[in-house]
Structure 1
């Protein structure tokens, strides 16, 4: 007689990134300047902007903290394109990715926010570490 030990039950089993992602209302083109990005960040009182390339695909994510070195001099803010800054770039999450896997990847990469893209690289939304962790913590175990 063969005995099978039960498979470990994982929290969040079956949840995907699509279950936890939020829309992202604020985006900026990669050829926009640091000054323009800073204006949007301050005006909207947000911490990050998704960056899209000339085709509309996700190019990355820029944060207020990432812009600090460029904001020290007005020359940099007026002439430096976002694409020339050091900011979070791919790979990105996709909606069918398991939420537990995405949360694990975010912990390893020290990401608070991770862009979610479709198979062609277009922005669908964002996954925040807080939302992923919170959803995994309250999901009933099947």
Structure 2
């Protein structure tokens, strides 16, 4: 017998973060300097870099805006490590998380990008607010 559930009738109800995440390869070590991060962001025309620790586990995400306070004082960019800056840190999304729940979390946290990690803390991909919105509004 098939039952009707309003939850399953909504667009994107059965989608997970794994269905929406995209691959992202631009990372920097947490012991890298602000100057190095700025160089990568500028040369690759990126809005953000993912930050990993010495074991390769994801630590967070750094943006140009987050680096701005350090970049206006050039003497500090050569000595300040990324781990000393205030940047987006976990918790991060998991691939099995429902996409609708992820959308709510991103809206509450005002995130445009949310890294997706595995159970051991290694990067799997990123979730973008635009991609989530597109998938959740598509008709089934």
Normalised by the shorter chain, which TM-score bucket?
over 0.9
Instruction: Give the Å deviation of 1:13.
Output: 1.2
After TM superposition, give the deviation of residue 6 of structure 1 in Å: 4.9
List 4+ stretches of structure 1 deviating above 2 A.
Answer: none
- Secondary structure of the residue that 2:62 maps to in structure 1? strand
Alignment of 1:96 with 2:100, yes or no, is no
Deviation, 1:139, is 4.0
* Residue aligning to 2:82: 82
Aligned residue number for residue 130 of structure 1 = 130
Q: 1:7 aligns with which of 5, 8, 20?
A: 5
SS in 2 for 1:79: coil
Q: Write the distance in 2 (CA, Å) between the matches of 1:76 and 1:10.
A: 50
| Rounded Cα–Cα distance in structure 2 between residues aligned with 1:109 and 1:130 | 15
SS of the residue aligned with 1:56?
coil
Name the residue aligned to 2:49. 49
The corresponding residue for 2:111 is 111
1:20 aligns with 2:26: no
Partners of 1:103 and 1:42 lie apart in 2 by 29
Aligned to 2:60, the other structure's residue is in SS state strand
Name the SS of the counterpart of 1:106 in structure 2: helix
Q: When the two structures are superposed, what TM-score results if normalisation uses the length of structure 2?
A: 0.94
- Alignment RMSD: 1.2
TM-score (norm 1): 0.92
Equivalent residue of 1:91, what SS? coil
Where in structure 2 are there 5+ consecutive unaligned residues? Answer: none
